[in-house]
Structure 1
């Protein structure tokens, strides 16, 4: 395979097409591990609250998802 050749093959995931390389490539089990189901939501907060969220996340080295998850887990729903 020369430098300009491109190879397309079937992925192990639900018959999706993927680009393949002569070396390496996607491996089963590689990548970030799933911790649950992802659902996209929009949250409307004031600018001041968003600033507090961003500041807290930066100070504690958390993502917004991690902060929201910890807040939800700490309540009795």
Structure 2
């Protein structure tokens, strides 16, 4: 794909940038649907615990976010 086929455009969502191709464009409601509010956190765990978390993610084909979200949701349910 040549660089002439891609444009950067402004989305309707608070000035977020999006990539536009020669066909189509930014569409309201397009893309992955939100499951809630996103907040960035920093988590400190031992190397052993990170290893267990990573193994669980690999074994179950889940992202770290999915695993941690599942742990928190099950704790508060």
TM-score, normalised by the number of residues in structure 2: 0.73
- Tell me the residue number matched to 1:45: 45
Greater helix fraction, Structure 1 or Structure 2: 2
Superposed displacement of residue 73, structure 1: 1.3
- Tell me the residue number matched to 1:33: 33
- The structure whose Rg is larger is 1
> Is the alpha carbon distance of 1:35 and 1:5 closer, same or farther for their aligned partners in structure 2, counting shifts above 3 Å?
closer
Decide whether the 8 Å contact of 2:5 with 2:22 is kept in 1: no
Aligned length: 75
> Is the alpha carbon distance of 1:12 and 1:47 closer, same or farther for their aligned partners in structure 2, counting shifts above 3 Å?
same
Query: Which sections of structure 2, spanning at least 5 residues, go unmatched?
Result: none
Decide whether the 8 Å contact of 2:18 with 2:26 is kept in 1: no
- RMSD between aligned alpha carbons? 2.7
Equivalences for residues 2-17 of structure 1 within 5 A? 4=4, 10-15=10-15
TM-score, normalised by the number of residues in structure 1: 0.73
Task: Report the Cα distance in structure 2 between the residues aligned to 1:24 and 1:17, rounded to whole angstroms.
Answer: 15
